[in-house]
Amino acid sequence: MVMNSKVCPCGSTKKYADCCGHYLDGSEAAPTAEALMRSRYVAYTLLREDYLLATWHSSMRPVALDFLDDGVTKWLGLEVKRHEQQPSQAVVEFVARYKVNGRAHRLYEVSHFVREAGRWFYVDGDIS
């Protein structure tokens, strides 16, 4: 899916090419844990398993995500509630809205990130 001229799904008002597109195309690493979390949300909307696995910390990374592009899940929006970052670890609290088979859902997560060799990685999250 070509999104370069469309508004980025991460919730910014920037165009995809000027926002998370830099991270998903591999030309730039996300500079903060919040930027990484936003780009990972976009990767879910685009079914970019490759990006999600590459940005998942090796200690917790699954072998595969087994996305099914059946049109059942429709991502509707992202709201970052909190972002706390230290030099080598961070927490990002967010709410993602989506629909499955037309029924609305909200995913509330407090995500944990680590920074290694200058790059941020998603470790895990507490979902409620």
Furthest-apart CA atoms within the chain: distance in Å = 42
Looking at residue 71, its pLDDT comes to 63
Tens of pLDDT, residue by residue over 49-59, are 999 999 999 99
Residues 6+ apart with CB under 8 A from 68: none
Residues 6+ apart with CB under 8 A from 3: 9, 16, 17, 21, 46
For residue 2, pLDDT over 90 is answered with no
Query: Would you say the pTM of this structure is higher than 0.85?
Result: yes
Residue range 20-40: average pLDDT? 97
Looking at residue 118, its pLDDT comes to 95
For residue 66, pLDDT over 80 is answered with no
Name the residue ranges covered by the structural domains of the chain: 16-127
From the CB of residue 127, how many other CB atoms can be counted at a distance below 10 Å?
A: 9
In this prediction, residue 69 has a pLDDT band, given cuts at 50, 70 and 90, of: low
> Is the domain covering 16-127 a CATH 3.50.50.60 domain?
no
Tens of pLDDT, residue by residue over 3-16, are 777 999 999 999 99
For residue 1, pLDDT over 60 is answered with no
**Average of per-residue pLDDT values in the chain:** 92
Looking at residue 3, its pLDDT comes to 74
Give percent above pLDDT 90 in the chain: 83
